[in-house]
Amino acid sequence: MVQDSLANSGIKWKFIPPSAPHFGGMLESNIKSAKSLMKKAVGTQSLTYEELFTLATEIEACKNSRLLLPITGDPEDLHVSTPGHALVGRTLEQIPRAITPDKELKKVTHWSLV
């Protein structure tokens, strides 16, 4: 039913074989990047559902704030194209934070980490 209604809209389904994630290309690259950011932020900590959801939302905003096209050389041109434009019609304005080194991370409380 869903497939029929999507087919009427011109949407085609393309499935990736389960044992061949390399078929995914950019999709798998984005997943790898998100997992890497999550591992760097969490480390070996255990998170509650709400903390994990908050982290995933921040990673999503960061990923959707990346540039899709090169910035022009014009200093007056402040417009950039990001995936956030397609989602909400404007930039998400998420600025990536610096990653805390492991030595300092041990000094940070669990809540401050999240």
User: What does each of the 114 residues of the chain score in pLDDT, given as a tens digit?
Assistant: 777 777 788 887 777 777 776 777 777 888 888 999 889 888 888 888 988 898 898 888 888 888 877 777 777 777 777 887 777 777 666 555 555 555 555 555 665 666
3-state secondary structure the chain: CHHHHHHHCCCCCCCCCCCCHHHHCHHHHHHHHHHHHHHHHHCCCCCCHHHHHHHHHHHHHHHCCCCCCCCCCCCCCCCCCCHHHHHHCCCCCCCCCCCCCHHHHCCCCHHHHC
Q: What is the pTM of this model?
A: 0.58
